[in-house]
Structure formats: structure tokens, C-alpha cells
A = this chain, B = another copy of it.
């Protein structure tokens, strides 16, 4: 597949779903919609494999490659967030509210935590002059209540 010319993506019409985010128009094919819905209804920060498993109940023939493609598309269009807490599989998150991730190092659970007050972490650190900040990722590692009490 070596296209000789490039053309703007087909405009979304008909069966396509659309979602307006950050002022841009994101085209959602059925698969992309399903991947997004699965993630939006998950609170456990699933991996690509987890998402494949869950989407399969509705679309049994979807492939891992398509899940990765959809996740990539959704991420670059700002509909979901990619989370890197440790080595190995990336995790995904559809919570677009300002939040941080608490990661339990015992059971591996990831919990969203929301700010107690409005707060810009970037203000607290001496960043070099001229630095432009686009996003901050705060990961808090430790032991969750369940693991802490049963030990």
C-alpha cells in the first residue's frame, strides 16, 4: 500500500459516530466507538489485551491490531489517555478530568484520585526558561487500604 497522493480523510457521514472534543471533530467508526465505550465504562485502567477481551463480547472478530489502532487514534485525538506506571503493558484511561493515578504495588490496582483543590503541579517546580508544558502525569505508588490491612 503505497499511496501516490494524499487526501484528507473522508468526512464523517451516515453510519459514522462523531464526538466533539477540544474543538476538533473525531471520527468514530463502530470499532473505535466500541473501544471507547469499553474504556469509558471501565474504572480499572485496562491494558490493550483487557480491552480486546471486553470488546470481543460485542465484536468477536475484532483483532488485537485493530484495538491498538483504535487506541492510538483515540489517544492522538485526546479522547483517552495513555498511562505508564511500570514496565510492561501500557494502560488506558478514559477519565479526562484532572486526576492522578494511585498505583498499589501489592495488588497492582490503579485508582484515580482527584485534586483536593485546584492545583497546577508545574508551578511548584523550577522548569528551565522557555519550557512549554502540555500535560503532567503524576503517579503515586504505595499500598492500597485493602492490601495494607490484610498484611
Q: Which residues of A contact B (CB under 8 A)?
A: 82, 84-87, 90, 99-100, 102, 105, 111, 113-117, 119, 121-145, 148-149
What chain B residues lie within 8 Å of A86 (beta carbons)?
Answer: 84
A140/B122 contact (C-beta < 8 A), A129-B145, A131-B145 known: yes
Is A125 within 8 A of B100, CB to CB? yes
Partner of A142, one of B111, B116, B121, B134: B134
Chain B proximity of A86: nearest CB distance (Å): 7
In whole angstroms, how far apart are the Cα atoms of A51 and B109 in the complex? 32
| Residues of B close to A128: CB separation below 8 A | 102, 111, 113, 144-145
Q: Which 8 residue pairs are nearest across A and B when measured between Cβ atoms?
A: A130-B145, A133-B142, A113-B125, A132-B143, A137-B139, A84-B84, A134-B142, A132-B142
